Chain A
Amino acid sequence: MAGTERLFAPAFRYQRLGRLFVAITVIMVYIATFAMAAEAGLSSLGLTRGEDLQGRLTVEIPAPADESATSQDSRIDQALAVLRAVPGVARAAPLSDADIARLLKPWISDPDLIAKLPLPALIDVQRAPGAALTADALEAKLKPVAPGAQVEDQAAWLGDVAQFIKSLAVLAGVMIVLTGLALVIAIGLICRAVMATERETVTLLHIMGASDAAIAGHFQYHALRLARGAAALGFVLALLSLAALLFALRHVIDLGAMPLWREVELILLLILVPLAAIGAAVLAARHTVFALLHTA
């Protein structure tokens, strides 16, 4: 028999408070899911870039201006020989044409055009663990065989980028917390409004011998019922938006770079958002009702 589960239902259902509850939950879950995706994505970016680039240097050998000069291939071979002889260099390998084409793809997608351009040759150098190898020292050693060669130490700019990414991730985390707080406050206010609307029924239930927990239980029931659907809707909308965003940025963001375990972790983290929102909604409803009953 239906009955007690319908207590307070009209206040939630017909007086726009329920719709407000649903709208706020949808929006909060949407924002929080986005923030969580950003947080996890940025953390992952920092992690993978850090692993990839830490301890690496890039040697850039400009294309010869004079065709009669020593050929570019010969300069590369000589440079490689010099680099491999330097103590502290674990590995030195030239980037293939395919690698360079991949790096240039966001700007130049035509392989024929890339082949015609006087692009510098690139050599990827891996520093041996613990080696005190500087870009200036390498440049000095390369000068006799490859004049004009430039060496870029990835660690130099990587620190700044990593710090920036970390700041963005922290910002996203703060956004998630603030969104959660806003949700709890909004649901608390809605429950207060319902309590005010249903004051007579609450008093009646008390007179009948309903415990505070029983009355709070009714609010929790409605909060759960409304938050469940709203959180699911907000989550699905956020996923669709994320998918659309990633599709639009598919040329800029290389999704294949993320390891599988990070993808699984990201999905689990995202699923936590609607679940946490439902839990927060139910707890906010319970806490509000208890607080009001004890101050009444």
Chain B
Amino acid sequence: MFLSFDHVSLDYGASHPALADISFHLPPGGFAFLAGPSGAGKSSLLRLIYGAEKPSEGTIMLFGRDSAGLDRAEWTDCRRKIGVVFQDFRLVPYLSALENVALPLKLAGVREDYTRRHAAELLAWVGLGDRLEAKPAELSGGEQQRAAIARAVVHKPKLLLADEPTGNIDDETAIKLLYLFVEINKTGTAVLLASHQQHLVERFGKPALRLKGGRLIPPAAKAA
């Protein structure tokens, strides 16, 4: 299985679990929104996928492996097949846009000349070809998120996770950004995009996993 959750729960010890009995799967090259209001558990679900959290119950299969059986080195390998975009961008503030985008390739030990060229091409693709040397603080919110998206896909991940990537930007810019994710998906990268902005989710007509109170809402229940 490329990515699947089988009765997964995540319990922080609070009055109710962050996630309860979540089951779904995403095929290679698939696209799905993860919709729901703030606090529904979208970020927790994504954190489970990239290994920042461990499930309290259930099984997560990632690239054909049970994530519970991965050691630190195997997690490192898995994460190199994943790109992550955050709501707050998380660009390294003292590195330029180009250096930020190049980071995953540099960490993977990719050659310098390829790294620079590919990072610059990606920044041009997201519309920041003239802002290569700009520091994050010199970029607008939309520009920062585009740089963050470029960084998330620079190493050609098999799976792209986006946690409220349009949460901090206006609707017009958000729609342009979401089209970037659709374009990335067309290259074969599976995309799981969390958003609380229902109108944006519906606009794209893609499958959506709807979360509420840490539980998935079945499509029938949503329709009802």
Task: Please indicate the chain A residues that have their CB under 8 angstroms from the CB of B90 in the complex.
Answer: 200, 204
Task: Please indicate the chain A residues that have their CB under 8 angstroms from the CB of B155 in the complex.
Answer: 209
Q: By the criterion of a CB under 8 Å from any partner CB, how many residues of chain B are at the interface?
A: 27
Binding site for B on A (CB under 8 A): 1-4, 6-7, 9-10, 200-201, 203-212, 214, 294
Supply 25 A–B pairs (Cβ within 8 Å), ascending by A: A1-B99, A1-B112, A1-B115, A1-B116, A3-B103, A4-B103, A6-B95, A6-B99, A7-B95, A9-B94, A10-B94, A201-B92, A204-B92, A205-B103, A205-B107, A207-B52, A207-B79, A208-B79, A209-B77, A209-B78, A209-B82, A209-B104, A210-B76, A212-B72, A294-B72
Closest to B151 in A: A208
B110 to chain A, nearest CB (A): 11
Closest to A7 in B: B92
* B107 lies within 8 A of A206 (CB): no
Binding site for A on B (CB under 8 A): 50, 52, 72-73, 76-80, 82, 84, 90, 92, 94-95, 98-99, 102-104, 106-108, 112, 115-116, 155
Task: Please indicate the chain A residues that have their CB under 8 angstroms from the CB of B103 in the complex.
Answer: 3-4, 205, 208
Closest to B47 in A: A207
Task: Please indicate the chain B residues that have their CB under 8 angstroms from the CB of A201 in the complex.
Answer: 92
Task: Please indicate the chain A residues that have their CB under 8 angstroms from the CB of B116 in the complex.
Answer: 1
* A209 lies within 8 A of B92 (CB): no
* B73 lies within 8 A of A4 (CB): no
- Cross-chain pair count, CB within 8 angstroms: 59
Task: Please indicate the chain A residues that have their CB under 8 angstroms from the CB of B77 in the complex.
Answer: 209
Task: Please indicate the chain B residues that have their CB under 8 angstroms from the CB of A3 in the complex.
Answer: 95, 99, 102-103, 106
Task: Please indicate the chain A residues that have their CB under 8 angstroms from the CB of B76 in the complex.
Answer: 209-211
* Alpha-carbon distance between A208 and B82 when the two chains are bound, in angstroms: 8
A253 to chain B, nearest CB (A): 52
**Residue among A7, A10, A200, A207 with the most chain B CB within 10 A?**
A207
B95 to chain A, nearest CB (A): 6
B21 to chain A, nearest CB (A): 26
* B102 lies within 8 A of A211 (CB): no
A11 to chain B, nearest CB (A): 10
Q: A208-B79, A210-B76 provided; 4 other pairs, C-beta below 8 A?
A: A4-B107, A205-B103, A209-B80, A209-B107
* A6 lies within 8 A of B106 (CB): no
Task: Please indicate the chain A residues that have their CB under 8 angstroms from the CB of B98 in the complex.
Answer: 1
* B102 lies within 8 A of A1 (CB): yes
* Alpha-carbon distance between A208 and B108 when the two chains are bound, in angstroms: 9
* Alpha-carbon distance between A45 and B167 when the two chains are bound, in angstroms: 75
Task: Please indicate the chain A residues that have their CB under 8 angstroms from the CB of B95 in the complex.
Answer: 3, 6-7
**Residue among B95, B103, B107 with the most chain A CB within 10 A?**
B107
Closest to A201 in B: B92
* Alpha-carbon distance between A203 and B103 when the two chains are bound, in angstroms: 14
* Alpha-carbon distance between A209 and B157 when the two chains are bound, in angstroms: 11
A211 to chain B, nearest CB (A): 5
Closest to B152 in A: A208
B142 to chain A, nearest CB (A): 20
Task: Please indicate the chain B residues that have their CB under 8 angstroms from the CB of A211 in the complex.
Answer: 72-73, 76
* Alpha-carbon distance between A204 and B73 when the two chains are bound, in angstroms: 16
Task: Please indicate the chain A residues that have their CB under 8 angstroms from the CB of B106 in the complex.
Answer: 3-4
* Alpha-carbon distance between A124 and B137 when the two chains are bound, in angstroms: 84
* A207 lies within 8 A of B112 (CB): no
* Alpha-carbon distance between A206 and B78 when the two chains are bound, in angstroms: 11
* Alpha-carbon distance between A4 and B100 when the two chains are bound, in angstroms: 9
Task: Please indicate the chain B residues that have their CB under 8 angstroms from the CB of A6 in the complex.
Answer: 94-95, 99
A32 to chain B, nearest CB (A): 34
Task: Please indicate the chain B residues that have their CB under 8 angstroms from the CB of A209 in the complex.
Answer: 76-80, 82, 104, 107-108, 155
* Alpha-carbon distance between A205 and B52 when the two chains are bound, in angstroms: 12
* Alpha-carbon distance between A1 and B140 when the two chains are bound, in angstroms: 24
* Alpha-carbon distance between A7 and B106 when the two chains are bound, in angstroms: 12
* A208 lies within 8 A of B107 (CB): yes
* A214 lies within 8 A of B107 (CB): yes
Closest to A211 in B: B76
Task: Please indicate the chain B residues that have their CB under 8 angstroms from the CB of A212 in the complex.
Answer: 72
